[in-house]
């Protein structure tokens, strides 16, 4: 009797020592009604008895929920040293075959220690999964290579590419359930969109056209949702036009000019009055002249009902003694001709404003097509899908990059479906329309190189504006470069932690496969990305690629996205479209003629709604991740440094 009592007391102690906290992922169809079992395995290899993770009268393992269970420890030889856990599930009586398990935390209440086993994958029926603490292993170090291979085979079948834009970045063919918005994120987004659209249609216009430039300011609501952007008070100033090149939504186009292009038919005597007493030659030699050239727009199709062709401007800027960039010449088409005049600040005031409006309209086409959508969304989607195809969820590089891919595929899928597809928002608010946007993305992709345009410092260097002594006031550069250095240092430290020797990189066939798919031409079934090595030869190359992914998804996207309402919200400041072509001869404009170029009130309000939605910050800041993927204390310390 005493022996039975001791065994009973020991079993009670066994159950109470360890608790399992099991979290189901916040994905569509993530929950399960299956019977779930878990075992503990210690460092000696001894296994505990299996515990069924089921609570009476509780609907366990549902989407986004965490439940706790007492575990049986009987059978363990060294319970103070757990090695890994084994988990499996049976077939569900309801017939569901899904369960997305986010993580398992084992709490040892005796030692006051918590073991964390990140899972972040779908759990198949009747397959026994062994998860080790922190679950971040290179493929050659994984103790379950066959299960890892089977998981990657499944993911390659699930994550397939399609060509949405001919010869452009590749997109996901069918969106997997795990990529769909979390319940809270989707609810918040839909609530915001419904509110904004409802307010849009609350405004009734007596006429679609504007009476004057001042009338444009009357479209704003009295509350703060559609506030009047500050630029509405100074959008006509040349100083502001220069500031847009260095701190606006597309502050990645300005370049040092050392020679005036032959195609730019400027007259030096028209420019030199704005050079503070020096000649154009001296200004060029002393790095005072800067250029923005939108040659990529030349010949891009546009909406025929708006205009017969799209402007493709080139403009010169002078860096004055106050270190301000001031526009000194604008030519609205690439080739000089009698019907393509060059505009100067000395022209009639409204004529000069008209030239700046058309220049900014061209800038907005590149901003939306390339800088924002093409590079920070679609190009990153290609890299994201390739990562899923080649990197196990347990791969440390996948875990490093995964927080920056969060919701990317879902956002892009919705964007392609509702914003840039034929008949979508782009066809109502942008001059180039859907076909032109596709063509511009294709052109941008063909010119983009990961090791130049993708690398923030290399891009600035290629444009001659990395050195603050050349262009002292450049807020985008001055904010972005320090962040880029922080990201690079973080990535470098994480990479060095997991790749402790050159042999580790050499033997990592998963990361090599990821990079090879990027570099392989589209004709051969790859992504066709320029500037990507076919094989990673050293850790510096891996650090560069990962740094570019993190920086583009954070710095690049923030710079192109979150100021959109402030730029586009006042139509004359940064128009998405202008009606008709500019005049073929330079003449004095009337205000009524200038107003006639502007989009009508409905189109302006559509742009306000679109950019308000796009500008809304939907995820947390860099380093404060919605979903944690790396749990190793050494890596967490790197993140917090």
Annotated binding residue 67: no
CA torsion sign for 28, 56, 125, 136 is positive
Contact in structure between 422 and 428 (CB atoms under 8 Å): no
Annotated binding residue 377: yes
Annotated binding residue 31: yes
Q: CA-to-CA distance for 61 and 443, rounded, in angstroms?
A: 47
Q: From residue 68, how far is each of 81, 104, 118 by CA, in Å?
A: 21, 10, 16
Annotated binding residue 60: no
Residue 86: its H or E element: strand 82-89
Q: CA-to-CA distance for 37 and 151, rounded, in angstroms?
A: 20
Question: Which of 297, 327, 301 shows the shortest CA–CA distance to 311?
Answer: 297
Question: Which SS3 state, helix, strand or coil, does residue 192 take?
Answer: helix
Find the helix packing angle between 475-498 and 539-551, rounded to 10°: 130
Q: From residue 545, how far is each of 453, 455, 514, 517, 539 by CA, in Å?
A: 12, 9, 11, 13, 10
Contact in structure between 474 and 465 (CB atoms under 8 Å): yes
Annotated binding residue 130: no
Contact in structure between 370 and 586 (CB atoms under 8 Å): no
Contact in structure between 220 and 226 (CB atoms under 8 Å): yes
Annotated binding residue 404: no
Question: Which SS3 state, helix, strand or coil, does residue 158 take?
Answer: helix
Contact in structure between 368 and 437 (CB atoms under 8 Å): yes
Tokens 């586009």 found at: 568
Interior angle at CA 309, CA 306 and CA 312, nearest 5: 120
Q: Report the binding-site residues for Ca(2+).
A: 31, 54, 97
Q: Report the binding-site residues for Fe cation.
A: 372, 377, 557
Q: Report the binding-site residues.
A: 31, 54, 97, 372, 377, 557
């Amino acid at each position: 009797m005493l022996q039975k009592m001791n065994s009973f007391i020991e079993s009670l102690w066994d159950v109470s020592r360890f608790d399992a906290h099991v979290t189901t992922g916040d994905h569509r169809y993530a929950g399960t009604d299956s019977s779930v079992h878990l075992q503990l395995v210690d460092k000696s290899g001894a296994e505990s008895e299996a515990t069924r993770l089921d609570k009476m009268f509780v609907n366990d393992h549902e989407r986004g929920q965490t439940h706790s269970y007492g575990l049986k420890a009987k059978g363990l030889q060294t319970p103070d040293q757990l090695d890994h856990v084994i988990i499996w599930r049976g077939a569900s009586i309801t017939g569901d075959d899904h369960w997305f398990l986010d993580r398992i935390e084992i709490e040892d209440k005796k030692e006051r220690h918590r073991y964390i086993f990140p899972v972040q994958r779908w759990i198949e029926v009747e397959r026994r999964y062994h998860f080790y603490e922190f679950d971040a292993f290179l493929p050659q170090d994984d103790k379950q290579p066959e299960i890892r291979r089977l998981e990657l085979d499944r993911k390659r079948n699930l994550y397939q590419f399609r060509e949405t834009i001919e010869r452009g970045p590749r997109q996901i063919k069918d969106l997997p359930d795990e990529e769909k918005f979390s319940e809270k994120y989707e609810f918040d987004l839909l609530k915001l969109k419904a509110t904004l659209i409802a307010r849009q249609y609350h405004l009734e216009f007596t006429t679609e056209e504007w009476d004057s430039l001042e009338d444009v300011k009357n479209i704003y609501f009295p509350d703060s949702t559609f506030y009047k952007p500050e630029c509405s008070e100074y959008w006509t100033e040349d100083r502001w036009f220069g500031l847009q090149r260095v701190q606006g939504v597309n502050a990645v186009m300005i370049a040092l000019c050392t020679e005036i292009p032959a195609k730019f038919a400027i007259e030096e005597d028209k420019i030199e009055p704005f050079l503070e007493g020096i000649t154009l030659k001296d200004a060029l030699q002393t790095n005072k002249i800067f250029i923005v050239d939108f040659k990529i727009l030349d010949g891009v199709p546009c909406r025929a009902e708006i205009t017969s062709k799209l402007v493709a401007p080139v403009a010169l800027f002078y860096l004055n003694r106050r270190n301000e960039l001031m526009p000194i010449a604008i030519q609205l088409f690439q080739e000089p001709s009698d019907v393509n005049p060059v505009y100067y600040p000395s022209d009639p005031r409204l004529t000069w404003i008209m030239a700046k409006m058309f220049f900014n309209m061209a800038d907005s086409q590149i901003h939306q097509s390339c800088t924002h959508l093409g590079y920070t969304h679609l190009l990153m989607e290609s890299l994201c899908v390739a990562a899923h195809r080649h990197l196990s969820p347990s791969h440390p590089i996948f875990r490093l990059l995964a927080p920056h891919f969060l919701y990317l595929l879902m956002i892009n899928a919705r964007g392609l479906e509702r914003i840039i597809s034929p008949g979508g928002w782009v066809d109502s608010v942008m001059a180039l329309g859907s076909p032109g946007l596709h063509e511009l993305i294709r052109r941008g992709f063909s010119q983009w190189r990961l090791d130049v345009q993708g690398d923030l410092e290399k891009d600035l260097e290629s444009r001659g504006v990395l050195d603050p002594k050349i262009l002292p006031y450049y807020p985008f550069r001055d904010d972005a470069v320090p962040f880029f250095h922080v990201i690079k240092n973080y990535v470098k430290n994480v990479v060095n932690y997991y790749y402790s020797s050159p042999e580790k990189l050499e033997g990592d066939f998963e990361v090599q496969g990821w990079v090879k798919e990027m570099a392989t031409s589209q004709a051969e079934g790859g992504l066709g990305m320029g500037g990507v090595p076919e094989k990673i030869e050293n850790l510096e190359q891996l650090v560069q690629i990962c740094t570019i992914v993190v920086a583009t998804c954070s710095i690049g996207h923030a710079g192109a996205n979150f100021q959109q309402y402030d730029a586009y919200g006042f139509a004359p400041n940064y128009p998405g479209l202008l009606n008709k072509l500019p005049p073929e001869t330079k003449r004095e404009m009337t205000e009524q003629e200038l107003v006639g170029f502007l989009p009508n009130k409905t189109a302006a309000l559509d742009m306000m709604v679109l950019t308000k939605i796009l500008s809304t910050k939907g995820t947390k800041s860099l380093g404060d991740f919605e979903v944690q993927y790396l749990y190793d204390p050494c890596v967490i310390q790197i993140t917090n440094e």
